Amino acid sequence: MNIRIKYESCSYLALFHTEKVPDNSSGDLACDSYNLYKEDVALLKRMKVQAYRFSIAWSRVLPKGTGKVDENGIAYYNNLINELKANGIEPYVTIFHWDVPQTLEDEYKGFLSPRIVDDFRNYAELLFQRFGDRVKFWITLNQPFSLSTKGYGDGSYPPGRCTGCEFGGNSGTEPYKVAHHQLLAHAETVALYRAKYQKFQGGKIGTTLIGRWFTPLNATSDLDKAASRRAFAFIVGWFLDPLVYGDYPEIMKEMVGDRLPRFTPAQSDLVRGSLDFLGLNYYVTQYATDAPLPKLPSAITDPGVTLGYYRNGIPIGVQAPSFVYYPPGFRMILNHIRKNYGNPLIYITENGVADFGNLTLPDALADNGRIQNHCSHLSCLKCAIE
């Protein structure tokens, strides 16, 4: 098992402005890496970081999604990449992190339309042309599950669509269409890179999936065991099965039926094997228990599973502000992927934990909670590798 860990940038664009943020704040400024990238890179070098993952904003280089290039955006990313390389830090570039240019949303509803596939591929080719001489690791998509289910299943991410949402939508069909078009956009982009750029640029290309593990709430219940398998199929296998085997998991095809798009034979061949590496974002393991299917179909409830962090009021792992983390699940999902998906090269592209608020400065600097989190996950990673 070949696994490496990457550092994730906080500089990608805000998902919403103020209307969807509880305290009405915005991400307009955030960590301001646009202006402070040299200081950021100096800090990374001081930390002896060897690789840095960041996301390129589609509309920063192509304001309308297609057509005229914004050379100011290109210059910023060139400067950042050059600064990283000059300091011995390898850039890992995420091509798409959920920010569809508004023009494409207005023109044809973004990833709801198959038209996005060609526009995405053309956008990616611009990046290969301008940055591929120095960027050797490309990540096409970040967590396509999140865009599909949160942008079109419950409306909590842009564009805020769902059944009953203010902006319209259908939670039982749109998430599956968006996922399908993301997979095709990824596959077309990989095919382009391999055909035109990989040989002389010498890079690798893959994608990053949500890496969540599931264990039965009742360890002796066959129903809960089946629920944990369905949860994995609908959250991870939804994307990993096509990328490795060229088709969706059988349980998804059975339960979702005609609402799940189908790959043509040519599309299946295109998607299958379209990974030089797999990026994995692992944060949590959850208990899974069997649940009845609701009358109204939704990609969120279609698996017929209830997920949670507690059994009889006891957390599965270590309590954190927004979730409970469980390092042994990290080892379990890595071993599962190795055994069931052809042992792909894996890069750990995200992992971490938040702090409880109102820490004193000495406590924040000691950072004991995060040290414990990193050490325990690295220990389980080491076990998986061995």
Q: What's the pLDDT score for residue 19?
A: 58
The closest of 212, 247, 235 to 149, measured between CA atoms, is: 235
107 is catalytic: no
What is residue 3's three-state secondary structure? strand
**Single pTM value for the model:** 0.93
Q: What's the pLDDT score for residue 9?
A: 41
Q: What are phi and psi of 156, to 5 degrees?
A: -80, -15
The closest of 8, 71, 15 to 40, measured between CA atoms, is: 8
Q: What's the pLDDT score for residue 203?
A: 98
Out of 83, 174, 188, 350, the active site residue is: 350
Q: What's the pLDDT score for residue 23?
A: 74
CA angle 6, 9, 11 (to 5 degrees): 165
Residue type, 384: A
Print pLDDT tens along the chain (386 aa). Answer: 444 444 444 333 444 455 566 777 777 777 888 999 999 999 999 999 999 999 999 999 999 999 999 999 999 999 999 999 999 999 999 999 999 999 999 999 999 999 999 999 999 999 999 999 999 999 999 999 999 999 999 999 999 999 999 999 999 999 999 999 999 999 999 999 999 999 999 999 999 999 999 999 999 999 999 999 999 999 999 999 999 999 999 999 999 999 999 999 999 999 999 999 999 999 999 999 999 998 899 999 999 999 999 999 999 999 988 899 999 999 999 999 999 999 999 999 999 998 887 888 998 889 888 999 999 999 999 999 99
Q: What's the pLDDT score for residue 185?
A: 98
Q: What's the pLDDT score for residue 369?
A: 87
Q: What's the pLDDT score for residue 25?
A: 75
Residue type, 281: N
Residue type, 377: H
The closest of 101, 17, 18 to 60, measured between CA atoms, is: 101
Q: What are phi and psi of 18, to 5 degrees?
A: -95, -25
Contact present, 379 and 371 (Cβ < 8 Å) = no
Q: What's the pLDDT score for residue 24?
A: 75
